[in-house]
A and B are shown apart, each in its own frame.
Chain A
Amino acid sequence: MAAAVRSINKMYGVCYNAARQTTGLKASRLLQHRAFRVCGVHRQQPFDSSQERPQFPGASAEYVDQLEFIQPNVISGIPVYRVMDRQGNIINPSQDPQLSKETVLNFYQKMTLLNTMDRILYESQRQGRISFYMTNYGEEGTHIGSAAALDPSDIVFGQYREAGVLMYRGFPLDKFMAQCYANADDLGKGRQMPVHYGSKDLNFVTISSPLATQIPQAAGAAYALKRENMNRAVICYFGEGAASEGDAHAGFNFSATLECPLIFFCRNNGYAISTPTNEQYRGDGIAARGPGYGMLSIRVDGNDVFAVYNATKEARRRAVAENQPFLIEAMTYRIGHHSTSDDSSAYRSVDEVNYWDKQDHPISRLRHYMTARSWWSEDDERSWRKQSRKTVMEAFENAEKRLKPNVELMFTDVYQEMTPNLKKQRESMWRHVKQYKEHYPLDLYEK
């Protein structure tokens, strides 16, 4: 009997495939469904139900005869991969990436340079010299570790708290400053708020404020790279809050079904502005969602630059080789305020922040690692601090002195070409401004 059932199933399968192959045959599929059901009714005979296999096209699974809901496992979640402990000791030598001294020093210098830049720009906002800023405190390790594991030709889509990726790729301090000051050197022509960086040369797609919109875009870019067949991948960063957006769902699902060489990198720092993660989701974080989309997923210690590096390196290798997406959830803590428009003491304790700042910080952890190998001394630290501060201050002062871009640039790049309508509006603006010039800050802008 089981054979009979199977042969019917097989027949059905054939019909089904045939129907699919013919164009526009949804209707005929419906007819065949009916025909099959009629057959089934006429052939009713005793048979062994334990031999039946579900034939639903939507999933490949066994039958069960007990009612049981699947429990989410949130108490004992996906483990956090780490390579070194809080004192910078390698825990499992087989996982040591064994990076050279120069590479590790470079990691450290990029992380600390970013930190120095953050401090200076944060202060400059407090003094009203730039309009807005967002620091990267506590998340420097996620940026540098992941960026180092990529090829420079890989395309980066970010959220806004990934300046370290640009820093690692060699984005000059002048350009960071130019963007924040929106001066005439800004590659973005002074149009976006501070920290909305972008660099064509460094394959870092310009940041935009709407959260998660970059996630399905990254899938599209990865698809295009796959067709280009040049062994390139895409990495897409986002916070755990942004992962609640519909676009995250879209991006995860598209990249899996369309087989895109893409690394989703989630920075889970515990907060989306004031919203703690228990108000953001009830599952086991973001990593647990990956398998639901058919995506290989991992959770790493985001304060461990080597763990981040290892995970990204392997994900990149496999993403390109196998054309499939990977999800990395890096657990961190947002040590700074959400932005300069936010005072985080209104919703979390100073003690909590201090723990992460003093006890478990990506920079101090890497410093322990270097010190243990005698790669870094107190003197090195002092002189590097001094030097990095000096270079940041130089860039800062230069940027501040610079004029803003020509006001003409308000009208260009809306379209590739300047439309007649926009030309008219530009002329009208100039006529007006010339007549009322004492009311406009013309001298701050390039002529």
Chain B
Amino acid sequence: MAAAARFFIRGAHSKLHISGVGPGPQSSFASTLLKLSPGSSSRTQRRHAAHFTFQADPEPTQYGPTTKMNLFQSVTSALDHTLANDPTAVIFGEDVAFGGVFRCTVGLRDKYGKDRVFNTPLCEQGIVGFGIGAAVAGATAIAEIQFADYIYPAFDQIVNEAAKYRYRSGNLFDCGSLTIRAPWGCVGHGSLYHSQSPEAFFAHCPGIKVVIPRSPVQAKGLLLSCIADQNPCIFFEPKILYRAAVEQVPVESYTIPLSQAEILQEGSDVTLVAWGTQIHVMREVANMAQEKLGVSCELIDLQTILPWDVETVCKSVVKTGRLLISHEAPITGGFAAEISSTVQEQCFLNLEAPISRVCGYDTPFPHIFEPFYIPDKWKCFDAIKKMINY
């Protein structure tokens, strides 16, 4: 299944060779995949400008000293804390031993030993099944699926097994100490199988938690919560942010609660809900709406897709009377549908316009058409304009 990814790695390397980028600790597959994300200036590989601008949050002060980290480094930091504090914790997946194709596990094997950070055979259903079993036997299992696009071979193990373990056994057995991490979302040129956002497939599955951070600070805090949580969690890491997002991240261990949305910006006219990279798109949209239309937007990062924070979203919509939900995944059956339907049910008397969903189209994720596919700021801006004029 991940054969496609392997092929991609090859391609990435030959590009490296051609453009004369020498090997070094930065020369992983990921660097090439991410080269084209914001910051790339190579003329030969120029693509359209990034569809978002990462905005760092204010430096968090409540968790002690901070240091500059990008998203992949904050993930490593979370994993480092876990291995240090929990002797049962193990990390495994395809190519995690040398540091991972996105550098998320760099140095961990050297620091904690090869029985704790190890490669598995190339088999996603095996990785998740193995992780479930380790968790059942009492270990903290942190499994990596190389791309969210390749999680489907493990769908059966996740949906029929991990999610139902505690329930079906009457709480005799559980795999609550399992966390599955996977790179997620569009990356500029990932095409069909390196761009997907599969959260809605899992949102229909009681028993698991699905979490998506927007930044290095959130990534570390939410990942540590997922690992500590006594339920199987899927943690999707927006891969376009691995290097692009840099901010001050607390050095020590800290957690950010699951199933709690965060209001990033207060507003009074429209509620904007998104998660992952799309939060940064929405931030810009909120500014554009303010500048060009004089519209005050309330921006909410949902963070946890399942079980999601109905209360925070509904409270906001009661106040603003309008709701725009945006995600990269296709619109039909996307998680925006669930939010939209719930809000309509709970805030019917407060809604002043139909709820708007700006999402990916109902097509596979295309290669060369990506700029036209994604729900970028202009599509979102237009939706706000129409909603305000409704």
Interface string of A416-441 (1 = CB under 8 A from B): 10011100000000000000000000
B207 within 8 A of partner (CB): yes
Q: A187 CA to B120 CA in the complex, in Å?
A: 35
Q: A250 CA to B171 CA in the complex, in Å?
A: 27
Q: A118 CA to B174 CA in the complex, in Å?
A: 29
Interface string of A189-216 (1 = CB under 8 A from B): 1011000101110000110101001011
Residues from chain A with a CB closer than 8 A to the CB of B125 are 216, 246-247, 250
**What's the interface size class on A, roughly?**
35 or more
On whether the beta carbons of A26 and B126 are closer than 8 Å, the reply is: no
Residue in B16, B129, B307 whose beta carbon sits within 8 Å of that of A220 in the complex: B129
On whether the beta carbons of A227 and B88 are closer than 8 Å, the reply is: yes
Do A414 and B207 contact each other (CB < 8 Å), given the known contacts A221-B134, A250-B129, A253-B126? yes
On whether the beta carbons of A227 and B174 are closer than 8 Å, the reply is: no
On whether the beta carbons of A217 and B161 are closer than 8 Å, the reply is: yes
On whether the beta carbons of B133 and A220 are closer than 8 Å, the reply is: yes
Do A250 and B123 contact each other (CB < 8 Å), given the known contacts A24-B25, A198-B172? yes
Interface string of B108-130 (1 = CB under 8 A from A): 00000001001011010110111
Q: A187, A199, A223: which has the most chain B beta carbons within 10 Å?
A: A223
Q: A222 CA to B16 CA in the complex, in Å?
A: 41
Q: A25 CA to B25 CA in the complex, in Å?
A: 8
- Please, how many residues of chain B have a CB less than 8 angstroms from a CB on the other chain? 63
Residue in A208, A224, A413 whose beta carbon sits within 8 Å of that of B88 in the complex: A224
B164 within 8 A of partner (CB): yes
Q: Which residue of B lies closest to A223 (CB)?
A: B134
Q: Which residue of B lies closest to A252 (CB)?
A: B126
A188 within 8 A of partner (CB): yes
Chain A nearest Cβ from B162, distance in angstroms: 10
Chain A nearest Cβ from B2, distance in angstroms: 13
Residue in A28, A220, A416 whose beta carbon sits within 8 Å of that of B136 in the complex: A220
Interface string of B173-208 (1 = CB under 8 A from A): 110100000000000000000000000000000110
Q: A25 CA to B137 CA in the complex, in Å?
A: 35
Residues from chain B with a CB closer than 8 A to the CB of A219 are 126, 129-130, 133
- Segment among B26-34, B243-251, B264-272, B363-371 that sits at the interface with chain A: B26-34
On whether the beta carbons of A200 and B172 are closer than 8 Å, the reply is: yes
On whether the beta carbons of B231 and A416 are closer than 8 Å, the reply is: yes
A321 within 8 A of partner (CB): no
Chain B nearest Cβ from A30, distance in angstroms: 6
On whether the beta carbons of A413 and B120 are closer than 8 Å, the reply is: no
On whether the beta carbons of B307 and A419 are closer than 8 Å, the reply is: yes
On whether the beta carbons of B129 and A225 are closer than 8 Å, the reply is: no
- Segment among B50-58, B98-106, B211-219, B375-383 that sits at the interface with chain A: B98-106
Q: A246 CA to B157 CA in the complex, in Å?
A: 11
On whether the beta carbons of A24 and B167 are closer than 8 Å, the reply is: no
A23 within 8 A of partner (CB): yes
On whether the beta carbons of A191 and B167 are closer than 8 Å, the reply is: yes
Do A213 and B137 contact each other (CB < 8 Å), given the known contacts A206-B169, A250-B129, A420-B310? no
Binding site for A on B (CB under 8 A): 9, 13, 16-17, 23-29, 88, 90, 98-99, 103, 106, 115, 118, 120-121, 123, 125-126, 128-139, 141, 153, 156-157, 160-161, 164-174, 176, 206-207, 209, 230-231, 259, 307, 310-311
Contacts beyond the supplied A217-B161, A222-B133, A416-B176: 4 A-B pairs with Cβ under 8 Å:
A23-B106, A213-B156, A247-B157, A412-B171
Binding site for B on A (CB under 8 A): 22-28, 30-31, 155, 157, 186-189, 191-192, 196, 198-200, 205-206, 208, 210, 213, 215-225, 227-228, 234, 246-247, 249-251, 253-254, 257-258, 412-416, 419-421
A to B CB contacts below 8 Å, 29 in the list: A25-B27, A27-B23, A30-B17, A188-B169, A188-B172, A196-B168, A200-B172, A206-B165, A210-B161, A216-B125, A216-B130, A216-B133, A217-B132, A219-B130, A219-B133, A220-B135, A220-B137, A220-B139, A220-B141, A221-B134, A221-B137, A223-B139, A246-B125, A246-B153, A249-B126, A250-B125, A251-B126, A257-B120, A419-B259
